[in-house]
Amino acid sequence: MNFDVVWNNLPYLLWGAWPQGPLGGAALTIVLSLFSGIASAVIGLVLGVWLFMARGIVHTVLLLFLSFFRSIPVLMLIFWTYFLLPVALGFSVPELATVVCALAFIGGAYLAHGVAAGLRSVGGGQWEAGISLGLGRWRVLRLIILPQSLRRMAPSFVNQWVALIKDTSLAYVIGVPELSFVATQVNNRAMVYPAEIFLFVAAVYFVICGALDLVAGAVAGKEREHTRGDKAAKTAS
Amino acid sequence: MDLSIFGLASIYVEWLLWGFGVTLLLSAATCVAATLGGLVICAARISPLRVFSIPARIYLAIFRNTPLLVQIFFWYFAGSAIFPTPLLDWFNNPHTVTIAPAGTTWLSFKLPSFEFWAGFVSLTFYTTAFIAEEFRSGLRAVDAGQREGGLSLGLSPALVFILIIVPQATRHAFAPLLGQYMNAIKNSSLTMAIGVAELSYASRQVETETFQTFEAFGIATILYIFAVAVVEAIGELVQRRRDRKYGRGAVT
């Protein structure tokens, strides 16, 4: 094992040509993950709530829409957005935006089901109580159901974000200089020690995914303490 | 035979279908190997012996938390550094397998290229990690009372595990397992990065050749949806049979 090739190219692997050129490498991977993570959460929440509230034909259409995104490879969707988004919008769209768009929809489609399941997991009594207080369906959802179910949805959000971080590597196919892309560049230039390069890259992804997992675990731990506190307060009163 | 469809010339449709065949072969092989691998890793992970459980934990953490694409690049580019040269030479040269009992050629086919093997190995290691975890959560989903019930009937812990826990866990794990099979079909598209001529690769090739972007990607997308839908339908069928056998609301 000779990691010189990694140390010699370390700045390029970590932030690409920045600040002389565009941001790349691990930094771009993080930026891509952040944008697509936030966008997928918004899409997932909106579609999930809609899936939960919709009835009849709208529900069926929505289900079909979601299963389309869940049954095609991410790579295929990136091709679609890359080639058709500019045609559909009538102006050129930067590669970064097409990748974020594709990842956000895939992540959102998976999350929507998690959100809907989380909403269903709240007992019917909560609904009845809300309605009998004179609140409308949407207000019961917003004020009573959603706050309770968000905690239960948290694990599926974290899992989806970890999957998204890994999927940002697919931006490689349309030449976005994120971590995997710059790694293949370095590998092609050096032509030696591919094992070292890709082990290092894997380690960087591992650290990013692991960090997210740790943060999520810490937040979940706090959350549990918080609910336990609630219960303790309830029994005390 | 004229295969042209949606205004795409016959030859290009043939490319796509050929790619679809490679996708199916690659993902089927992956599913079989990864299910066996998943059983082994799951067994090691739940083992009370640390010699088994700790390596299994490390395996799961590494393979689940790094992108498949990077793993594919690793096995493809670094394979030469890891595997012995004779083995590599064998993989890099084309081989034809001929089954000829009693002198007459019965079956003859070419073994796939090195790219295919590299793709297969990386997909299998990756999918194994996910299937192992599905098996484990299947085991955990079995109520603790089942184990206690078995033990109180005088069965040994091993028998309780085999006769009572595993059959129920299989039912819990079935749907998630099919989900992982669908993921394997979709993930096989990433092997295009190392030049495996599967469906995504073929669609890209047809697109470059004909500029019929919409048709090329459209047909490929439909084929992917078809493959995933077939797996889903199989799951639905098995589920229904089980409902008939055990009644609705039974452990599924």
Beta-carbon contacts of B106 under 8 Å, excluding residues fewer than 6 positions away, are B99, B100
List, in sequence order, the alpha helices (H) in chain B. Answer: 10-46, 50-64, 68-82, 85-92, 114-140, 144-152, 157-159, 166-187, 199-210, 213-246
CA–CA separation, B180 vs B35, rounded Å? 10
Q: Answer whether A75 sits within 8 Å of B65, measured CB to CB.
A: no
Chain A residue with the nearest C-alpha to that of B74: A198
pLDDT in tens, B72-89: 999 999 887 777 777 777
pLDDT tier for residue B247 given thresholds of 50, 70 and 90: low
Q: Does A76 touch chain B (CB under 8 A)?
A: yes
Q: Nearest to residue B76, comparing CAs of A194, A43, A85, A223?
A: A194
Mean local confidence (pLDDT), A133-158: 90
Beta-carbon contacts of A70 under 8 Å, excluding residues fewer than 6 positions away, are A106, A109, A110
Mean local confidence (pLDDT), A217-231: 69
Instruction: Enumerate the domain spans of chain A.
Output: 4-236
pLDDT in tens, B21-57: 999 999 999 999 999 999 999 999 999 999 999 999 9
Q: Tell me what ipTM this predicted complex has.
A: 0.89
pLDDT in tens, B59-70: 999 999 999 999
Q: Mean pLDDT of all residues in chain B?
A: 90
pLDDT at A118: 92
pLDDT in tens, A7-53: 888 989 998 887 888 888 999 999 999 999 999 999 999 999 999 99
CA–CA separation, B160 vs B157, rounded Å? 5
pLDDT at A236: 54
CATH pick for B10-80+116-245 out of 3.20.20.150, 3.90.950.20, 3.30.300.90, 1.10.3720.10: 1.10.3720.10
List, in sequence order, the alpha helices (H) in A90-142. Answer: 95-120, 124-132, 137-140
Which pair of tokens denotes residue B69? 């694409």
CB atoms within 10 A of CB B66: 25
In a mutational test of the B interface, the residue from A3, A64, A79, A80 whose CB has the highest number of chain B CBs within 10 Å is A79
Burial class from Cβ neighbours inside 10 Å (0-12, 13-18, 19+) for residue B87 reads: exposed
Q: Does A109 touch chain B (CB under 8 A)?
A: no
Residues in A touching B192 (Cβ below 8 Å): 75, 173
Residues in A touching B200 (Cβ below 8 Å): 73, 75-76, 79
In this complex, the residue of B65, B186, B200 whose CB is nearest that of residue A209 is B65
| Domain covering A4-236, topology | MetI-like fold (1.10.3720)
pLDDT at B250: 55
pLDDT at B68: 97
Q: Answer whether A198 sits within 8 Å of B193, measured CB to CB.
A: no
pLDDT tier for residue A152 given thresholds of 50, 70 and 90: confident
Minimal C-alpha gap between A76 and chain B (Å): 7
pLDDT in tens, A50-98: 999 999 999 999 999 999 999 999 999 999 999 888 888 888 888 899 9
Residue B112 has pLDDT above 90, yes or no: no
Q: Degrees (nearest 5) of the Cα angle B35, B37, B41?
A: 115
Interface A-B: count of C-beta contacts within 8 A: 109
CA–CA separation, A180 vs A196, rounded Å? 14
Q: Does A155 touch chain B (CB under 8 A)?
A: no
- Whether residue A172 contacts residue B193, with contact meaning beta carbons closer than 8 Å, is answered with yes
Residues in B touching A63 (Cβ below 8 Å): none
Q: Mean pLDDT of all residues in chain A?
A: 89
* Structural element, H or E, at residue A15: helix A10-15
Q: Answer whether B73 sits within 8 Å of A84, measured CB to CB.
A: no
Which pair of tokens denotes residue B245? 């056998």
- Whether residue B241 contacts residue B158, with contact meaning beta carbons closer than 8 Å, is answered with no
